[in-house]
Amino acid sequence: MRATAVAHMPDTAKRLAYTAGRSPVGMPTSSYVEGAEFACGIEWIRNDELLATPGAPLAVSARMRAPLSLLGVLASNDRVRITKIRGEALATPIECEIVGIPLPSTSALLLELRRLDDRTA
């Protein structure tokens, strides 16, 4: 069942692993280290489907199914960079932050995403 689920994930993304550090003056900093590509399935959510207050940040932009092998690898403070949609490479990859905790289901890891350019409606 899991192999079938992965075979039906037509999109591709990369993990951007969160790393914390300190600036030379001791201020907290964060960065993201790009990881390997993985197959995924993305369901985009239209803005009018969301109950967002005008001008408020959108809660969720998309839902992603990822292989269960990424359970414990993808964390809520990581990001993902979507590189291919339906097998077609994107000229400009789409970067998203993970909203909440990645949840395992029977055949896939489920994530909610917010596009970084969707911080305002």
pLDDT tens per residue, range 15-60? 999 999 998 999 999 999 999 999 999 998 876 545 555 555 557 7
pLDDT, residue 32, reads 95
CATH class in words for 2-118: mainly beta
The domain ranges of the chain are: 2-118
pLDDT, residue 60, reads 77
Model confidence at 98, pLDDT cuts 50, 70, 90, reads: very high
pLDDT, residue 39, reads 95
pLDDT, residue 120, reads 45
Where would I find the H helices in the chain? 2-7
- pLDDT of 69 > 50? The answer is yes
In Å, how far from its chain's centre is CA 109? 11
pLDDT, residue 104, reads 95
Q: Given the structure tokens 């899991």, which residue do they identify?
A: 2
CB atoms within 10 A of CB 18: 16
Q: How many residues does the chain have?
A: 121
